[in-house]
Structure 1
C-alpha cells in the first residue's frame, strides 16, 4: 500500500498488531474491488471510547462511543439504492486519497467478546467496513446495506474470516 498512516492513541492497539491487521484488510478490500493498493492513501486513528465518543458527537451529533467512523475524502455514494458508488479518481500525482477512519479499542473489544469472535477478526471486519465507507458504500438504504454486506463477506472470506453477519450460535 502506498500510504497507510496509523496514529495510535491507545497503546492496546500495538499489542493487537493493528498495523499488520489494517494493512492486510485494506489491501484485500482494494484488490477485491480492482483498486490498486499501491496508489491508495488511508489514515487510521486507533483510539479509545472517550476519543471516538467526542468525534461521534462532533461529526454526527451522537455523543456516545461507536466502533468505527469514516470520513471519505470525496462523496462517492451511489445515486440509487443498491447501486455502485462513484469510482475513485486519482489526484494530480496519481494517488488515490480515500480518507480517514477512526476505530475504538474499547467498543471493538466489547463487541468481539459479546459475539464470541476474535478481536483480530472483528477489527479486520471493521477496517474493511470503514474502508468501504471511504469508497462510497453505505448501509442506510436496504439494497445498499445488502450490497455492502455481501462485499464485506467476500473480502473477509479471502482473509479466512467467517461471515460476521451469520448467526454462529445457530450454525
Structure 2
C-alpha cells in the first residue's frame, strides 16, 4: 500500500539579494519541497525564509531569549476555524548551517536537509524539551532521512 502524500504549498524566501546570490544555486525549491514533504504528517502551507546572522540573532533573541544566531527557528500558526491544515514559517540561517556542517564534517546540503526536516517536525508539534521527546524526535528524523537516502545526522 502506497503512503499518502500530503498536500504542500511551499514558499521559499531569501532575506536579501546577497543571501540569494550566495546560496540560491545550492538551496532550491525542489530540494526543500522533497525534504519538507518527507516529514509531513498532514497537509501544510509552509514558508521557509533564509536569513543572515543578524536577522537570525534578532529573531532568536525575540522569541527564545537567546542572544545568538541559531540554525533553525520554527513558527507554527494557531489553528484557525475552517482551516484544516498546518500553517508555519521556518527560518533557517545558512551561515550558521555552513559553520555547523564544517564543524561536524558534514556536507552543507546534508545538514540543511536534516534541519529542514527538524523544523518541519517542530511545526507539527514535535519537540525535544526532555530526554524522551528528544529521543523520539531524533528517531523520527533518522527514519525520514533514511527514506530520502540521507545519512544518520547523529552518528
Compute the TM-score of the two structures, normalised by the length of structure 1.
0.79
Query: Is 1:5 matched with 2:11?
Result: yes
Partners of 1:98 and 1:158 lie apart in 2 by 24
**Where does residue 4 of structure 2 map in the other structure?**
none
Unaligned stretches of 5+ in structure 2? Answer: 1-6
Matched, 1:116 2:105: yes
Matched, 1:22 2:36: no
Write the distance in 1 (CA, Å) between the matches of 2:81 and 2:28: 27
Q: For 1:52 and 1:117, how far apart are their aligned partners in 2?
A: 22
Q: How far apart, CA to CA, are the structure 2 residues paired with 1:44 and 1:99?
A: 9
What is the alpha-carbon distance in structure 2 between the residues aligned to residue 131 and residue 4 of structure 1? 12
Which secondary structure does the structure 2 equivalent of 1:16 belong to? coil
Which of 159, 163, 167 aligns to 2:152? It is: 163
Higher relative contact order (CA 8 A, sep 6+): 1
Distance 2:99 2:132 in 1: 29
Shift of 1:93: 5.0
Output the CA distance in 2 between the equivalents of 1:140 and 1:108. 22
- Quote the offset at 1:5 in angstroms: 1.1
TM-score relative to the length of structure 2: 0.86
Runs of 4+ in 1 over 4 A off after TM superposition: none
Q: Give the 3-state SS of the residue equivalent to 1:98 in structure 2.
A: strand
Q: 1:153 aligns with which of 136, 142, 149?
A: 142
Counterpart mapping for 1:1-171 below 5 A: 1-9=7-15, 10-11=19-20, 12-30=22-40, 33=41, 35=42, 39-74=43-78, 92=82, 94=84, 96-166=85-155
Aligned partners of 2:54, 2:29: CA distance in 1, in Å?
21
> Is the contact made by 2:8 and 2:37 (CA closer than 8 Å) also made in structure 1?
no
Q: Please, what is the CA RMSD of the aligned residues?
A: 1.6
